[in-house]
Amino acid sequence: MSVRIPENLLEDILGRVDIVEIISGYIPLKKSGRNFKANCPFHHEKTPSFTVSAHRQIYHCFGCGESGNAFRFLMRHEKMEFPEAVEILAKKAGVILPEQNNPEIARQVSLTSQLYKINELAVSFYENNLHASGASAFRDYLLNRGIKLQTIKEFHLGLAAYEWNSLINYLRSKGIGLSLMEKAGLILPKDAGGYYDRFRNRIIFPIFDIRSRVIGFGARVMDNTLPKYINSPETPVYIKGKNFFGLNLSKDYIRENDFAIIVEGYLDFMIPYQEGLNNIVASQGTALTLEQIRLLKRYTHNVVMIYDGDTAGEIATLRSLDMLIEEGMNVKVVPLPKGMDPDALVRREGVNSLKAKLQNAKSLFGYKLEVLKCRHNIKDAHGKSKIASEMLLTINKFDNAILRGEYIKRLSEEIKVPEHYILEELNKLKPNVGVRSDEGLRVKKSSLGINPAENLLIKFMLEERELIEKIMQELSPADFTDIRTAKIVSVMYDLFTQGKNIEPSILMNYLSEDDASQLVCESMFMPELLEQEREKAVNDCIARIKVQRLKSQREHLHIQIKSAQSLGDEQKLNSLIKEFHNLIKKGD
């Protein structure tokens, strides 16, 4: 949260939306006592530990520790920046953002929305070009390429003309400045000064995000000029590897079928899609990224990869497979013959041929083994060991011991090496448990090393405003040893003194550190105490923190005394020793 947005505004927004309604727009929530539960969208699990409190307007996952308020949920789940999450919820809440009062937000929010707008103008410009009377040769090219007119329209395909500045002139006529055009990645500066259109004499494929906003463009030549495709550069709205081409159209089909077909290119997507294979996405690159996998995981845990039958495709598949398994996805692979891609296959043999191949998709294990068998000689010892060590890397990524055992058995049969040798090799590999990329780290980070007394006091203060006054008299923020609890307490004291609202979902807006926000949620979901136990618990916590404070004061004095001794500073030593005695008396 690098941008400051007035807290009262955030409070206003949070007060008018319901976190349960917002989250259930993305994942199904089930009522469970006072709260709502679901399988956590941020880590792989089979029993729900993701909890949403309607009462507190916060969520918390007991599995991975992810937690926060409605803003945080949108940021994490929809990969939004903070200003964007604020903008969306403000709209929902009917709160008007005073953009002119806050130039920083106004700049950020308006830059992205201006870029979407410019991209949209560019789409309609390119589209008009393609459907103009003079462009029949280009339309014929697409039709001959097997793309139906209806598909051309559905995907808003367009044409960048041969001229150097036709888009510049068009956007200028719409009042768009050159610097914005450049930020949108649509034009390039000339060495001699001035600008020219980035895309010329190419078919344009607009790239949409999951909310069907235009974020960038792919542009393809019609002859054999190289490169065959050029794409938009990264811009504030287009970040490579964070998106799938076509997912905006196919996401509902993917959810319905509970599996996704992953292909590589625009046409590999469009041709099968127009023939009714709709649960498909294009990765737009050779290897999948972690962000792409997590995006897809919102819709299904089952994927079939169809990559081009060339070496680049093969390597991309292998690299992506392990990552998919690590994310808990079920993966199958359709290998295509050399030089074949899904687009060509469907055009040549019809969509049913591709469907048949999907039916017979290879398991990940079988596919990887086949690729390795082509690369190494399975008959000699050296080749066997190479194949085994590659396969074990993948086998080791499975959480499930039964699956691991099954694969080891099959590997042993395939390479004709006794199982116990393979097991021995597997044991040499580091255990894979808990290294699910950053989620594993988060599990370790959460609630480790935090004094439960500090955590509990925060919970009590959040639940009972009157307690803050009492605790303020007893403890200062610096008495809290954890830097996060200290920060939370200091913010709470401030808000209390100013007579402001200290609801947990609102308190979070003042805490920029993710960890501190997480701690607030964690505290709120700690087990409830009975009314009669509360007062004693509060006093115990205060006492415990005081003891801790004394202990650290003593340690500190002890160090000072030692240094005064070694310096021979009699006078200082005497006063320090006196102080030390007073401290001990206080502790008793």
Interface positions with Zn ion (CB under 5 A): 40, 42-43, 61, 63-64
State which H helix or E strand residue 355 sits in. helix 351-359
Judge contact between 389 and 425, C-beta under 8 A: yes
- The least distance separating Zn ion from the CB of residue 489, rounded to whole angstroms, comes to 27
Q: Which is nearer to Zn ion, 39 or 389 (CB)?
A: 39
- The least distance separating Zn ion from the CB of residue 51, rounded to whole angstroms, comes to 10
Taking the chain, what is the end-to-end CA distance rounded to the nearest angstrom?
45
- The least distance separating Zn ion from the CB of residue 290, rounded to whole angstroms, comes to 16
Q: Which is nearer to Zn ion, 131 or 301 (CB)?
A: 301
One-character DSSP codes across 461-497: HHH-HHHHHHHHHH--GGG--SHHHHHHHHHHHHHHH
Residue 377 one-letter amino acid: N
- The least distance separating Zn ion from the CB of residue 23, rounded to whole angstroms, comes to 13
Q: Which is nearer to Zn ion, 308 or 439 (CB)?
A: 439
Q: Using alpha carbons only, what angle is made at residue 464 by residues 515 and 477, rounded to the nearest 5 degrees?
A: 45
- The least distance separating Zn ion from the CB of residue 61, rounded to whole angstroms, comes to 3
Q: Which is nearer to Zn ion, 59 or 125 (CB)?
A: 59
Q: Which is nearer to Zn ion, 68 or 272 (CB)?
A: 68
Residue 128 CB neighbour total at 10 angstroms = 13
- The least distance separating Zn ion from the CB of residue 328, rounded to whole angstroms, comes to 12
- The least distance separating Zn ion from the CB of residue 40, rounded to whole angstroms, comes to 3
Judge contact between 515 and 446, C-beta under 8 A: no
280 vs 296: CA distance, rounded Å: 11
Judge contact between 63 and 40, C-beta under 8 A: yes
Q: Assign residue 68 a region (left: φ > 0; alpha: ψ between -120 and 50; beta: otherwise).
A: left
Q: What would the two tokens of residue 54 be?
A: 């309607």
Alpha-carbon torsion, ordered 510, 513, 516, 518, to 10 deg: 100
What single-letter DSSP state applies at residue 33?
Answer: T
Residues 6+ apart with CB under 8 A from 108: 3, 81, 83
Sign of dihedral through CA atoms 391, 396, 401, 403?
negative
Q: Which is nearer to Zn ion, 43 or 357 (CB)?
A: 43
Q: Assign residue 209 a region (left: φ > 0; alpha: ψ between -120 and 50; beta: otherwise).
A: beta
Q: Which is nearer to Zn ion, 61 or 519 (CB)?
A: 61
Nearest C-alpha neighbor of 59 from the set 89, 38, 87, 33:
38
Q: Which is nearer to Zn ion, 68 or 218 (CB)?
A: 68
- The least distance separating Zn ion from the CB of residue 35, rounded to whole angstroms, comes to 15
Judge contact between 384 and 418, C-beta under 8 A: no
- The least distance separating Zn ion from the CB of residue 64, rounded to whole angstroms, comes to 3
Q: Which is nearer to Zn ion, 42 or 155 (CB)?
A: 42
- The least distance separating Zn ion from the CB of residue 76, rounded to whole angstroms, comes to 10
Overall size of the chain counted in residues: 588
Place of tokens 């598949």: 317
- The least distance separating Zn ion from the CB of residue 48, rounded to whole angstroms, comes to 10
Q: Which is nearer to Zn ion, 43 or 139 (CB)?
A: 43
Query: Residue 92, exposed/middle/buried by CB under 10 A (0-12, 13-18, 19+)?
Result: middle
Three-state DSSP class for residue 498: coil
Q: Assign residue 136 a region (left: φ > 0; alpha: ψ between -120 and 50; beta: otherwise).
A: alpha
191 vs 194: CA distance, rounded Å: 8
Q: Which is nearer to Zn ion, 60 or 384 (CB)?
A: 60
Q: Which is nearer to Zn ion, 40 or 187 (CB)?
A: 40
- The least distance separating Zn ion from the CB of residue 38, rounded to whole angstroms, comes to 10
- The least distance separating Zn ion from the CB of residue 239, rounded to whole angstroms, comes to 24
Judge contact between 83 and 72, C-beta under 8 A: no
Q: Which is nearer to Zn ion, 45 or 474 (CB)?
A: 45
Q: Assign residue 521 a region (left: φ > 0; alpha: ψ between -120 and 50; beta: otherwise).
A: alpha
